[in-house]
Structure 1
């Protein structure tokens, strides 16, 4: 059906098949983008801007992003063969059943042309948000099943992240005295000179105790300068040089190096500054989005199972007063078993 609908577009139209792999989610997605690069994709659209996958800008992990992989660029004509169908199959496999199609009607004069966008899904889906859900079945509600487990934490409920309390174990130390432990241990001058440039730009002292620094300065050091560019000056013993750039932050630096390195000892070194934190995707409930979106009387399965036995029994008894006739008919045998 998707192939047939696309073939109805104006002849000789150039169409772009996109797999929307991220929609309105926060993160840097370095690992994911690297994976798409390894799989041979060359173009990627991030927040409506198309990039060569080799030259993707650093993403702000605190900002929501839309990321789509350009799967193929096709001119509609009679010699398509299986290329269109294969491109669609690749896109829906990448994006969990969703595909964006952009096209321009080249039969129109240039001044009247505009990019048109179509959204298709092979599953039950919201065309605006792209959220899809497969057939609801018992395995969807089990975090021990790959069909139900949160895709971010793999059903564990927590993720291993760099912990600021381990990065700054002693807040009474100054930066000059080694408050930022992972950077203080290194023998290279690069990190010391980076911090000196930050101190000059934001007008703070490296001799000030960490607990005396303002929240703004602490956030910049740990999480980065966002879009603000800073002049960094370095001296490697052979030459002096400087350049302006944004600062990624100590925590982001450690997380990036942990993901990018192939060295086991480097991973072990960085791992000592990591701890388990509640998964932001599932909020510690361990289930994927689709399972947590299925609710009865406003509660999903994990919220019900967290109730005490007495509270849960009361909740099930009161359901008959909350459900309509059709819902009661569907649930009557299950509710009877539970309540008896």
Structure 2
């Protein structure tokens, strides 16, 4: 019987039958266990729907179901994905590109689990000892700096900006909406009985001003009857520090957030000078260096420094630190310092830190799911990434990777290619097999991978040059370089070499006619979408209004058209106290976000909800007679976002998608013509090679129309297509920041010291 079971294929595969999540079209397939499987295909073809929203989601749901009801009721309740049956699922760990959302108390050291080991080291052999491990933690009262409470910075309230001395209490002297006349916090000082409410603050005595601003839990001698009977009085500044500075609310309106930015200033803590820990922890040394010194070192430097630390009392901790540092080096993060706040890491950097946390795990037979782990990585770093993926596989785990990068696909044991197109044109398995078989499969992915890259045959001649002098932002070493005008320039180098510091920092700082279209967060979340970013949402609403007789506000889920149950969100959020909030689709509108009256109105046979679910091509067809709507939306296709619904919430877009959306807005506003000078920061992030080629075509059109493009890129298709390359390196962090090369892509392939040049030469030779 056991022999028969060992031959049962079902024991060796993850089996899906009839998966129909999102655009998947009744997909059935077997994925081998304890193997590295790469799922590829065009952007929007259904890769993530298959791996993340079907396999990973169902595995997590089934694991949650194994817990006792007491625990289960406190976990997020995930609906079963649309799939007829699954088998062979194991415990699944998702390593995605979501950025760390922790506050300033989360650093690379804490996120990588190095912090406990560092504290243990210093508590054992640091001299003089500050005490047990907590005495070295900036997150513990025993170790944190008492002045900044472990944050490294202090926030000052600008009293001159906060207070209008010309106004009385009744007139509202506090320039902060949370203290405006009539609200709860205004009533606290208005009914305190301490002040003449009709007297301007400039006429207050020194004692009255002190109490009004800085009183702390003062027992009131004669308060107004409307003042809470058991409460104590706090001054305005004291109350602001307690509520908005020390314990800043996790949920604040954009208005309140903007007000606080105006009213507060942040500076290094004068007590610890940003070190976060108290004097005892700062004074405890190992070989003349403190835990603050270790945390301020880059991973590279700390790894070298530890070679001189040899003490048998801490050998296990020292081995653990070295192991984790080696893992960070292996994923190309040697330039990071351990004290860097984790929330400042990019999505790709955050994902690689998460990978490191799994490498030392003793658990086996886990399914690891990676969502485009090569994003933001130089080709040289992708080789090290592949080694990590193979290490996880060889430890007895199943590794599923959603990926476009050719080098990741080539090391896979099994490849699944989704397609044939994106959105409603995708959702089918076009190929299953080995990487070698993919090359001759005839799919779009196979054709592109089997064809060597071609360098631009004839580079354009620049119309002129702009000179960047003494580039020294961050790790740049002060080099001078000329940037050609009227051509496509690629700025290259390994991750952390200084590419973005140069292209998005020094270049536009010295030459203000360069516009940076970067990956900075777009303002707006679940209530903002591509239509609103492009500025055509009002045009869509007016068109529906004209066709239905209703007002335009009826076609906004932020106004009269909102579903009354979910208030236009499309889901209901349940707060679970100390656990993450749980969002479930709204039963009243079925996730449509609009009320019944709005959903009865149609335009060209479609409701407003139908339009928001549609991709750019469909929306252009609906609004073909409205160029004010159709023309801006056409840019979504041209920048590689043709697969995304025009009503997709901004908070669900990746960094690369947001950047391409900003590019579409910029080109739409300027009509894509003129002698503009644009800087793009890794615009191909998350794109299939075919979509990269489409973006290359767009770049050509813009440059031929007179634009100057400077593109920070790792993607070899963009680099090969460029007229000019500026290569920065040779390494990352303190090992980078130097100008290695300037010239054409063909010359770069012959540059012996450039890692970019070597990778490009390999890709061109096939």
User: Which TM-score band (shorter chain)?
Assistant: 0.3 to 0.5
Structure with greater Cα Rg = 2
More strand by share: 1
